[in-house]
Structure 1
Amino acid sequence: MDISDLRIALFTGNYNYVRDGANQALNRLVEFLLRRGAAVRIYSPTVKKPAFPPNGDVVGVPSIPIPRRAEYRAPIMLPPSAKRDIRRFRPNMFHVASPELLGHRAVTLARRLDVPVVASVHTRFETYFRYYGLAFLEPLVVAGLRRFYRRCDAIFAPSESMAQLLREQRMNFDVGIWTRGIDREIFNPGRRDPAWRRSLGIADDVPVIGFAGRVVMEKGLDVFSDTIDHLERRQVRHKVLVVGDGPARNWFEKRLPNAIFVGFQRGGDVGRAIASMDMLFNPSMTETFGNVTLEAMAVGIPVVAAIATGSQCLVDDGRTGRLIRGGAITAYADALAFYCTDAEARRAAGAAGEAASGPYGWDEVNAALIDSYLRIIRQRAAGGRLPRSSPVP
């Protein structure tokens, strides 16, 4: 069996209606599969005006807006029409990308059809509740995630640090790596544009501290803004550039009145925006990989990030940037002040980061996942079966 024999049914709560790092990775995976001759069918909520055109054929499933995060939708079922479509498609692998109701129903159907099923882990869902006053729910969420992932043949994390966390949480006995790639046409040092910076009112000699990504509280916006307050009290010369949009943008704009907000950028524009920063500040504790961290490294700027899953596998502390204990405002401010005041240190860390980003090509990382698909299918064919129920110790 090879890649052209694969028939993948992919299930996700968001394939293209809101743009984020997870669904960008899924779309790149589908494009790779189709280009290599595999068949793919995607089952996901759909909207009239999605954020971008999807790769592959998408079958819509019923969904409702998520409370307090209405831009996202929660699938409420895997309808009979979708089940009939799946049976006609005859997949030999189910891939589930989000552990909500659609994912649970997909895993149940896969086991009923005796088809292997894998799950990819894209974010630390259990940590989100900390940012909405519901931290007491985290143990229950972890238990629910464990039950879900234990019903899969294997699960895949985007970084070794996240994979190790999943092993420690006993989420599955087969934990692999499906890392993330970088588009070198978009993210490279040549994208830096001094004229664009000047058009925003940023002088050439002013160091720019950047934020890039969805503007949501779980990205550590409170820590980011508190750290900037420290820099301003120390009178460290800098400018903050925020690239991205999201439901917390108004809060962030009020919190950082001197920052420049350029909104959502796409394609070459986002590469230009990140390359035109002088450092990236990523205090998020919810990342499983941190695509933007890799993008910043690829354009040749240092990264100051939290010691968190994902970032600690990308950032080489003291060489390509700094890794700081989550929430340590003074330490974050010290690291940013160092790069703001030492242009040579910025240059050296940026060059090291660009070199370290070299192995991350999309075709290479997706090919590794396909090898795992084929391994799991071979194991099933050789008699390997999941038990009808997977008890959690």
Structure 2
Amino acid sequence: MSDVTANQNGRHIALVSETFLPEVNGVTNTLKHLCLGLMKQGHRVTVVRPRQARETTGAMLAAAGEALFSAEVLVPGAPLPGYPELRFGLCRSATLARLWSGQRPDAVYIATQGPLGIAAASAAGRLGIPVSSGFHTNFHSYSHYYGAGFLAGLLCRYGRWFHNRTDLTLVPTRRMQRQVRSMGIEACSVWSRGVDCQRFAPHKRDNELRRQWGLGPGDRAIVYVGRLAAEKNLQMAVACYERIRQLHHRARFILVGDGPLRERLAARHPDYIFCGMQQGEALARHYASGDLFLFPSKTDTFGNVVTEAMASGLAVVAYDDAAAGEHLRHEENGMVAALDDDDGFVTSALKLLDQPTLLARVRSQARLDALDLQWSVLVEQFANLILSVQPKEHSHAVKQSLPIL
């Protein structure tokens, strides 16, 4: 274990995750803001995570040079099947129990549902430490996009088994809370996500970048930011853009991100602009240099990109689910379509492009509403939730076997 700061104020919180910086995904983005916010509020933060394949020192400090945590515990890791760039942690619960017996956290938060999360839940339960978990990823929904839909039932039962071993499960939206309860997960509370409105802002629009994309002053950039993978419903974004450019010939499709579908998409659509993975200020410029943002996913539990696009002053078109269902109001600060209404998704995008006054009004209101989503408030709420949990009796849960098909 390595210590980087001796913050003795506040409470001791252990964050356990099988994904962490410098990996780029919604979980790591949330954990970065959690770590920074908890440290600023005087808490002592210990991060438990797998050692990554290509370690860098970037995980220790935020971009501004601020310490992300007080201490970290690195455990062995192995590649996650289907996502080789991600790793799951390998650690015995007894190892964590010994560690936490000597340096006892006031609360444990488990962000991922893998073997490291199981070990952490068992260790915390054995010691009577309050343990909360986050429902960050819809793995049972993802299975349908990888030819493994037959595993959805098993993954759902596994999720129920895992989360019911913790004292509280945090979900990002009220709709997800209803879904999680319908799965049989007993104790769950809503904890949403914030957005960095200083990093993501309309004034970072870059006309030179737009020129590189082949756009003139009145042309429209249709932007997608996220993983280029099947579970993101990218075929809907492609279908929507193809309809758009039939009427708006100079519109360009800008895809920011990487993933297994990139080569196939680039081969089929050589006119699309693939910007690859972008981070920090470069990502902020890519957002702000767009006009319309497409979020076609039907599997995300939240979708941080939605609030980042709002903060950047983009008009978001999404399905009425996850972050969009929580924060977008149709034709006020974005456009939402019912989950089963693909035509409505396309119609919403076309309506914005056909009505410049509506587009301008939606973009302006999106930015104003994003300003209300401050991370500092949400971090304080997170701490209050996990520190107020009363640990339940874990003896039965620890002995309970994994669910079987």
Q: TM-score, normalised by structure 1?
A: 0.90
In the alignment, what sits opposite 1:181? 194
Query: Are 1:301 and 1:347, in contact at CA under 8 Å, matched by a contact in 2?
Result: no
For residues 201 and 237 of structure 1, the distance between their equivalents in structure 2, rounded to whole angstroms, comes to 9
Q: For each residue in 1:80-105, what CA deviation from the matched residue of structure 2 results, as whole angstroms up to 9, or x when unmatched?
A: 55543333221121111111111111
In the alignment, what sits opposite 1:254? 267
Distance 1:170 1:82, change over 3 A: closer
Percent identity between the two aligned chains: 26
Distance 1:69 1:145, change over 3 A: same
Query: Are 1:5 and 1:38, in contact at CA under 8 Å, matched by a contact in 2?
Result: yes
In the alignment, what sits opposite 1:23? 28
Q: Does 1:120 align with 2:125?
A: no
Q: For each residue in 1:223-258, what CA deviation from the matched residue of structure 2 results, as whole angstroms up to 9, or x when unmatched?
A: 222332333455654211111222322123224322
Amino acid at match of 2:395: R
Give the length in aligned residue pairs. 383
1:19-168 → structure 2 map (5 Å cutoff): 19-47=24-52, 48-50=54-56, 52-54=58-60, 55-56=68-69, 57-78=71-92, 81-168=95-182
Amino acid at match of 2:134: S
For residues 182 and 10 of structure 1, the distance between their equivalents in structure 2, rounded to whole angstroms, comes to 20
In the alignment, what sits opposite 1:362? 375
In the alignment, what sits opposite 2:4? none
Deviates more, 1:62-71 or 1:326-335: 326-335
Deviates more, 1:305-314 or 1:103-112: 305-314
Query: Are 2:20 and 2:59, in contact at CA under 8 Å, matched by a contact in 1?
Result: no
RMSD (Å) for aligned C-alpha atoms: 2.2
In the alignment, what sits opposite 1:300? 313
Query: Are 1:61 and 1:82, in contact at CA under 8 Å, matched by a contact in 2?
Result: no
| Superposition deviation, residue 5 in structure 1 | 4.1
2:186 to 172, 195, 201: 172
For residues 258 and 73 of structure 1, the distance between their equivalents in structure 2, rounded to whole angstroms, comes to 34
Q: For each residue in 1:349-384, what CA deviation from the matched residue of structure 2 results, as whole angstroms up to 9, or x when unmatched?
A: 1112112212211111000111112322xx45xxxx
| Superposition deviation, residue 200 in structure 1 | 2.5
2:352 to 320, 339, 342: 339
For residues 310 and 23 of structure 1, the distance between their equivalents in structure 2, rounded to whole angstroms, comes to 17
Q: TM-score, normalised by structure 2?
A: 0.88
Amino acid at match of 1:40: V
Runs of 5+ unmatched residues, structure 1: none
1:237-386 → structure 2 map (5 Å cutoff): 237-326=250-339, 328-376=341-389, 379=390, 385-386=392-393
For residues 165 and 256 of structure 2, the distance between their equivalents in structure 1, rounded to whole angstroms, comes to 38
Query: Are 1:287 and 1:309, in contact at CA under 8 Å, matched by a contact in 2?
Result: yes
1:159-238 → structure 2 map (5 Å cutoff): 159-173=173-187, 175-233=188-246, 237-238=250-251
Q: For each residue in 1:51-86, what CA deviation from the matched residue of structure 2 results, as whole angstroms up to 9, or x when unmatched?
A: 942322322212211223211112233375554333
1:148 aligned counterpart, secondary structure: helix
2:178 aligned counterpart, secondary structure: helix
Query: Are 1:18 and 1:50, in contact at CA under 8 Å, matched by a contact in 2?
Result: no
Query: Are 1:98 and 1:120, in contact at CA under 8 Å, matched by a contact in 2?
Result: yes
Amino acid at match of 2:372: P
Query: Are 1:236 and 1:337, in contact at CA under 8 Å, matched by a contact in 2?
Result: no
Query: Are 2:125 and 2:394, in contact at CA under 8 Å, matched by a contact in 1?
Result: no
For residues 236 and 333 of structure 1, the distance between their equivalents in structure 2, rounded to whole angstroms, comes to 16
